[in-house]
Amino acid sequence: MLSSKLRPMARSRLRVVLASGLACWLVACGSSSAGGGSGGTTVAGTGGVPGSGGAGGTTLSSPAGGLGPWSLTADYPLAANDCLGTPPDFYCDQQTCVASSGYAYCIGGGSTSTYYSQLSPAGMGPWIATADYPEPVQEASCVVNANSIYCVGGRIGATYTLTADVYYAPLLSPGIGAWTASTPFPEAARDLQCMVDSGYIYCISVGSAAYFAPLSSNGVGAWAPTTMPPAGTRCSSVAGYAYCVGQAGCPPNGPASDCYSPSAYAPLTASGIGTWLRTSELPTAVSAMSAFAGPYVYYLSIPVFFAKVSADGIGPWQTTTNYPDSLYPANCFSDGINLYCASGVAASSYFAPIGAPNPQAFQLQDAPPFPRSEYLMPASTREGTCSVSVNGVGAGAPCFGKNIDEAAVLTCGSEVSTPSGCKTTVASADAAYNYDVTVWYPCKGQTPANANCCFLPALGYPDPFDAWCISIGSNSFIIAQQITMQEGQ
In whole angstroms, how far apart are CA 226 and each of 53, 141, 201, 256?
A: 49, 18, 11, 29
Per the domain annotation, does 298 fall within a domain?
Answer: yes
Q: What is the pLDDT of residues 403-441, one digit of tens each?
A: 666 777 888 877 888 889 988 888 777 777 788 889 988
CA–CA gap between residue 352 and residue 227 (Å, rounded)? 35
Per the domain annotation, does 50 fall within a domain?
Answer: yes
Tell which wins on pLDDT, 464 or 160: 464
Per the domain annotation, does 195 fall within a domain?
Answer: yes
* Averaged pLDDT, 276-288: 79
Q: For residue 376, is pLDDT > 90? A: no
Per the domain annotation, does 18 fall within a domain?
Answer: no
Per the domain annotation, does 248 fall within a domain?
Answer: yes
24 with 30: CB under 8 angstroms?
A: no
Tell which wins on pLDDT, 385 or 404: 404
Query: Which DSSP helix (H) or strand (E) runs through 413?
Result: helix 413-416
- Asked if omega into 88 is within 30° of 0 (cis), the reply is yes
Among the candidates 291, 326, 353, a domain finishes at: 353
The reply to whether 344 and 276 lie within a common domain is yes
The reply to whether 118 and 184 lie within a common domain is yes
The reply to whether 264 and 309 lie within a common domain is yes
| pLDDT recorded at residue 7 | 32
- Could you tell me the end-to-end alpha-carbon distance of the chain, in angstroms, rounded to an integer? 27
* 87-91, 144-148, 282-286, 361-365 — most confident range: 144-148
The reply to whether 321 and 400 lie within a common domain is no
The reply to whether 208 and 320 lie within a common domain is yes
Q: Is 415 helix (H, G, I), strand (E, B) or coil?
A: helix
Per the domain annotation, does 93 fall within a domain?
Answer: yes
| pLDDT recorded at residue 54 | 26
Domain enclosing residue 230, as ranges: 71-353
CA–CA gap between residue 369 and residue 55 (Å, rounded)? 13
The reply to whether 183 and 295 lie within a common domain is yes
The reply to whether 296 and 444 lie within a common domain is no
Among the candidates 353, 384, 412, a domain finishes at: 353
Confidence at 248, pLDDT banded by 50, 70, 90: low
How many structural domains comprise the chain? 2
- What is the value of pTM for the model shown? 0.71
| pLDDT recorded at residue 409 | 81
The reply to whether 233 and 104 lie within a common domain is yes
Sort 90 into a burial class: Cβ within 10 Å, 0-12 / 13-18 / 19+.
middle
Q: What is the pLDDT of residues 32-64, one digit of tens each?
A: 222 222 222 222 222 233 333 222 222 334 568
Per the domain annotation, does 359 fall within a domain?
Answer: no
Dihedral pair phi/psi, residue 324, rounded to 5°: -60, 135
CATH code for the domain in which residue 86 is found: 2.120.10.80
Per the domain annotation, does 234 fall within a domain?
Answer: yes
Q: Which residues pair with 321 in a beta bridge?
A: 35
Among the candidates 294, 327, 353, a domain finishes at: 353
What is the percent of the chain where pLDDT is above 90? 34
Q: For residue 169, is pLDDT > 90? A: yes
The reply to whether 188 and 235 lie within a common domain is yes
In the chain, what is the greatest distance between 2 CA atoms, to the nearest angstrom? 77
Q: Read out DSSP for 125-161?
A: ---EEEPPPSS-EES-EEEEETTEEEEE--EETTTTE
- Catalogue the long-range contacts made by 258-262 (C-beta closer than 8 Å, 24 or more residues apart): 258/285, 259/285, 259/287, 260/284, 260/285, 261/231, 261/232, 261/285, 262/230, 262/231, 262/232
Residues in the chain, total: 489
The reply to whether 230 and 127 lie within a common domain is yes
The reply to whether 190 and 104 lie within a common domain is yes
Q: What is the mean pLDDT of the chain?
A: 75
The reply to whether 344 and 434 lie within a common domain is no
